[in-house]
Amino acid sequence: MIHQINPDEDDPNMDLGRFIHEMSYVRDKSKEISLGNIRLDIVRQDKEGLVIGEVKKSSKYAKSARMQLAFYLLELKERGIEAKGELLFPKEKKKEEVVLTEKVEWELREAMEAIRKLAEESRPPQARKIGLCRKCAYKEFCWA
């Protein structure tokens, strides 16, 4: 993404993710917004303040989903907007709260720095097949 390379939009996993996103939390869909380089699935106000929701098809990769949502919360914080996050897994009927604590922010900034360093390399790292490759919408770039 940092090099403006988009995933295969026709990938079946991308289609499934879009379907789950569109069919879940229908009442909140009117609250979806884009802000700079991020797209927030659900934005709503509750008793405690602003809540940002991120819809995922599975909790299998909850750690990366948490980091994605933490990144969105950091982007909002840097714009002067305080919010909390919710990861939503409709197929599993699960919800997980995400809060941008100092520890989470530190971990996120470390990951962002590692990504920046990787992106500045003149060549991509050698392709290495891992379990995630099977369902990745970018797989053709690595293995074509």
Residue with the bigger pLDDT between 3 and 67: it is 67
- For residue 138, being part of any structural domain is answered with yes
CB of 141 within 8 A of CB of 124?
A: no
Percentage above 90 pLDDT, the chain:
36
- For residue 4, being part of any structural domain is answered with no
CA distance 35 to 110: 23
Q: What is the mean pLDDT of the chain?
A: 82
Q: Which domain holds residue 54?
A: 12-143
Tell me, what CATH number does 83's domain have?
A: 3.90.320.10
Which residue from 94, 78, 86 is spatially nearest to 42, judged by alpha carbons? Answer: 86
Total domain count, the chain: 1
> For the whole model, what pTM was predicted?
0.78
pLDDT of residue 77: 94
